[in-house]
Amino acid sequence: MSTLKGVYVSEAYQGLIHANKTKLPETGKSVMYDGSGQKSALSLGKDGQGASISGPFEADGFKYPSRDLQFGIPVSNGSKVLTLSSASQLFKASGVYDEDGTYVNPTITITDGLITNIASGGSGGRGMVSFTQVGAGSWTVPVGVTSIKFIITGAGSQGRNRPGNAGATVIGYMTVKEGNIIECNVGRRGIATNEPGENTTLSIAGQIAAVAYGGESDDITGVDADLGIASQAATGGITAHGANYINSFLVIVGGNPGVDTHGDGGEESSGGAGYWGSGPAPGGGGSTHRKVPIGLGPGDGIVVIEW
């Protein structure tokens, strides 16, 4: 049986990796050599002292470093390779870009303190949802979405002595986070003669944030409808609760035709126009002829959310 006594490892086993005929240091790392004395790319330390590699390293099909991996993070997006110029750009450059260059927040997976995956944010891309059915509705904010645009319109009123009024529209931008439930209530149009339209609301965290009022009837206290005097135009706005989430908003009042159609002649007129137009467009007022609703009726409210 052969013995290694008095023989250097380098002379006996060319393929062995060793620490250049010395033991591992108490702290730090030692470069490893092969049996012929050639330095390897690997440096090892004692338990707890770690290991390091000089030069490129390959794992899971990625080479480190490479143009597809910078700071250890995949930064490729199909055929488009994003370049990092500093560590501060890491998360943004590792995100996903739409064809027009719009940045979309990525979903970042961290395992044991290391970033192990960066995905596109799934349903957090751009999109739109609308609610046209009268009554309650809800929508859950998807992953990656931090801000939404909303458009809410109150319902239009039915006419009588004059055409119906349009509902108001509120347009705004709201700060949200993944999992928030956005609730709405779409107002119903006026159906009976001279019936006002219902309000449309948008809520977050269980409380109303914005209101778009429905079109008024022409029976407003202190206003003589028989004289053909226009009633108050519908308006809207945000609540104190909504101010915690809504960054900016615009109110578009409902159109109010104020045309007298109750005489004995052939007077008739379309309803008031709102953001979407006259009835039966969302929020539009109904048309009348000689005190009677005729033709195109008023429109229900609507809620549109974009992200």
| Each residue's pLDDT expressed in tens, for the chain with a length of 307 residues | 455 566 565 566 666 777 877 888 888 888 888 877 888 888 888 888 888 888 777 765 555 555 444 444 444 444 334 433 433 344 444 444 444 444 445 555 545 444 445 544 444 567 889 999 999 999 999 888 899 999 999 999 887 777 888 899 999 999 999 899 999 999 999 888 888 899 999 999 999 999 999 988 765 443 444 434 445 678 899 999 999 999 999 999 988 776 665 555 556 667 778 899 888 889 988 877 666 676 778 999 999 999 8
Contacts 24+ apart (CB under 8 A), 104-110: 104/144, 105/144, 105/145, 105/146, 106/144, 107/143, 107/144
Q: What is the pLDDT of residue 88?
A: 37
Which residues 6+ apart lie within 8 Å of 42 measured at CB? 17, 31, 32, 51, 52, 53
Distances 74 to 57, 104, 105, 207, 261 between C-alpha atoms, Å: 14, 16, 15, 42, 69
Q: In degrees rounded to 5, what are phi and psi of residue 62?
A: -105, 140
- Contact indicator for 277, 245 with CB cutoff of 8 Å: no
> Using CA atoms, how far apart are residues 57 and 282, in angstroms rounded to an integer?
61
Burial group, residue 13, by CB count within 10 angstroms (0-12, 13-18, 19+)? middle
> Cis peptide before 65, with omega less than 30 degrees from 0?
yes
Helix (H) or strand (E) holding 10: helix 9-12
- Contact indicator for 197, 189 with CB cutoff of 8 Å: yes
Q: Of the candidates 177, 113, 175, which has an alpha carbon nearest to the alpha carbon of residue 150?
A: 175
Q: What is the pLDDT of residue 5?
A: 61
Tell me the one-letter amino acid at 149.
Answer: K
3-state secondary structure of 293: strand
- Contact indicator for 294, 161 with CB cutoff of 8 Å: no
Question: Where exactly are the structural domains of the chain?
Answer: 10-53, 58-120, 128-306
